[in-house]
A and B are shown apart, each in its own frame.
Chain A
Amino acid sequence: MNGIVRPYRRAAAAPVSWFQFATRHRASIASLAVLIFPLVMPFTALAVNILIYGLYALGFNLVYGYLGLLSFGHAALFGTGAYVCGIAIVHFGLPWYAAIALGIAGGLLMAAMIGVLAIRTRGIYFAMVTMALSQCVYYLFYQAVDWTGGENGLRGINVRDIDILGVRLDFINPLTRYYVVAAFVIAAFFVLSRILASPFGAAIEAVRENESRARASGYDVRLTRLMTFVLSGGFCGLAGALQALHLSIVPIEILYYDTSGIVVMIALLGGMGTFFGPMVGAAAFLLLENLVSVWTVHWQLFVGAIFMICVLFFPAGIWGTLISRGKR
């Protein structure tokens, strides 16, 4: 015995890496980023657009990134949410919060209708079928001129003052509008995080990883797919409703397949199957578009080229690549 008493040392907590810290608090971190965002963007309306497209991509990511099904028809869900919200305000004079709720419902319903038809198909077929079905929705909304304004779009979604818990906010003020939209997006973050962490979230992953095994384990594969698609519709519908309120119009182009294509690009650019990826992708895409448009009218060339480069060399997207670096 040499008389030195070693003090009892508690087993040191395992050092927490950036990655684990971020994953545990992902919703909170995303929310923090959202709060300081407008201060670093060229103009606030762009920041709002980024939030909205980020949410749209978040919904899309549920189906593509987490479930593994490539849909080229998500514009139908986004657009339906927008139109239902707009119609509720313009034609029925409903208050803004009811309109948003109806927009979400519209997204859910449209997703159910498209989903029931499309879920019968798989893989690449799914992409084509969703694209064609959403084109159908486009033409139908186009024809319903009395409700949607047709080619002229739906105008008059003018929300001025909104009352939240007794506080009157001026919705016309750009920053106020941003934070109201941000509140909804943050709520969506939390809801999505809960869903993914739940047993249903595990089911989604199981179906993506190995369908036959999932089926053998007792998961109803078809129902899981449909439910995921419908949930995705809810998120996209909310994004659409917020878009309608933000721009005070709903353009018919929102239902065209270009809008479906944009969300695919955003999701890939950001990183599919990751939580922050869609937001990062939306920010990257819209900022890029904004920046490049200032230099040249040929911004589509650059956006398309960058997208191809991502597909070839960075399939995990910006955020996905950063994460895999961070994991190492």
Chain B
Amino acid sequence: MAGLSLDLIALQLFAGLALGAIYVLFAIGLSLIFGMLTVVNFAHGAFYMVGAYVGLYMLSLGGNFWLCLIGVPLAVGLFGLAVERVLIRPLYGRSIDYPLLLTFGLSYVMVELVRIVFGKTGYPFDTPEILQGAVNIGVGYFPLYRLFVIGAAAAVLLALWLFLEKTSFGLIIRAGARDPQIVRVLGVDVSKVWLIVFGIGTGIAGFAGLLAAPLQGASPEMGGTILAEAFVVTVVGGMGSIGGAVLAGLLVGVVVSMTSLFAPEMAKVSIFALMALVLIVRPQGFFGRAGLMS
């Protein structure tokens, strides 16, 4: 094969990590929401997409990209809070399929609303000036912005880890993930915890959408395929496990990247094949709770 060298493979690996970073951010929110609320948020892709559009809107109001990095997850998270309170809360106590179904319908509505407000075609999203261009990372030139994406994702992960490990609220979340009953008995308002977790999860999804926007532009359909791929990440990593989401997200990104090098048509199939393999060998994924399987 022409041009195949160690440098190229290393470059490809980096590209895989950057791709994986977006998967990780997206899947973490999904996993968090599932781990705490046992809700599969089928609208997660729509929140991701809304993040990109909110970013567009903020930029058009005259803000700069750095403000968006803070503003977008806040705005999307707030919207997530409203959705949990108004639409999902009434469904607790019923079969656990219902929130899934509701979020599924919600995704249709959100996508169409964005189409109505912003139009069908989608918008270009310019990479912020400072982050344009490519840098020599030793093995070749790599876009600066993608390095930023890797860094931003790492920062968010660190912040999340600190939050979960070092704060009392984080303690409640971890306890609640293990046993919601005990937490309730101890006097904690579980519904409030769920509300906030949903907000955090969707906020992170919005943040991921904002990060992805300069890479591919903003379009109403952008949440679609990443959702299916994120399911692979969560199955491989284990639903409800954040560490699993991180590892699996990066793994999936690298698998797609490396398959693209040798057989690009099979890149998409490869991740589903990976998932099928995991299902056969270890159905609960890397760190999933075995109790979830029957």
Contact = CB atoms under 8 A, between A and B. Distances in A.
Contact between A and B in the complex (any CB pair below 8 Å): yes
Interface of A: 70, 117-118, 120-125, 127-129, 131-133, 135-136, 139-140, 143, 211, 257, 261, 264-265, 268, 298, 300-301, 303-305, 307-308, 311-312, 315
A131 B275 CA distance: 11
Given A124-B34, A139-B269, A300 B228 contact: no
Contact of B228 (A125, A132, A264): A132
Given A120-B279, A128-B234, A133 B38 contact: no
Contact of A307 (B94, B108, B116): B108
A131 B231 contact: yes
B276 A70 contact: no
Contacts of B100: 70, 124, 127
Interface string B256-280: 0000000001101100110110011
Interface of B: 34, 38, 40, 87, 90-91, 94, 96-98, 100-102, 104-109, 111-113, 115-116, 228, 231-232, 234-235, 239, 265-266, 268-269, 272-273, 275-276, 279-280, 283, 292-294
Nearest to A272: B97
A70 B99 CA distance: 12
Contacts of A124: 34, 38, 40, 96-97, 100, 239
Contacts of B283: 120-121
B91 A133 contact: no
Contacts of B94: 315
B275 A308 contact: no
10 contacts: A70-B101, A117-B280, A124-B40, A140-B269, A300-B109, A301-B112, A304-B105, A304-B107, A308-B87, A312-B90
Given A117-B276, A120-B283, A301 B109 contact: yes
Given A125-B293, A298-B116, A312 B231 contact: no
Given A120-B293, A123-B292, A304-B106, A132 B112 contact: no
A312 B104 CA distance: 13
A311 to B, nearest CB: 5
Contact of B106 (A120, A136, A308, A315): A308
Contact of A298 (B38, B40, B112, B269): B112
A261 B224 CA distance: 12
A300 B108 contact: yes
A308 B40 contact: no
Given A131-B231, A132-B232, A300 B111 contact: yes
- A-B residue pairs, 8 tightest by C-beta: A304-B108, A136-B272, A307-B105, A301-B112, A304-B109, A308-B105, A128-B231, A300-B112
Given A117-B279, A265-B105, A123 B96 contact: yes
Nearest to B99: A311
Contacts of A118: 279
A121 B102 CA distance: 22
B109 A308 contact: yes
A268 B239 CA distance: 26
B112 A264 contact: no
Nearest to A313: B90
A121 B293 contact: yes
Contacts of B90: 312
A202 B47 CA distance: 42
A264 B276 CA distance: 23
A93 to B, nearest CB: 30
Contact of B109 (A123, A261, A305, A315): A305
B40 A128 contact: yes
Contacts of A125: 235, 239, 292-293
Contact of A304 (B112, B269, B292): B112
Nearest to B34: A124
B115 A298 contact: yes
Given A125-B239, A301-B112, A301-B113, A311 B272 contact: no
Contacts of A132: 228, 231-232, 235, 272, 275
Nearest to B108: A304
Contacts of B98: 311, 315
A136 B269 contact: yes
B101 A311 contact: yes
A133 B106 contact: no
A264 B101 contact: yes
Nearest to A307: B105
B101 A301 contact: no
Nearest to B236: A132
Given A136-B269, A304-B107, A305-B105, 9 more contacts: A70-B101, A121-B294, A127-B97, A128-B235, A136-B273, A136-B276, A265-B104, A298-B112, A304-B109
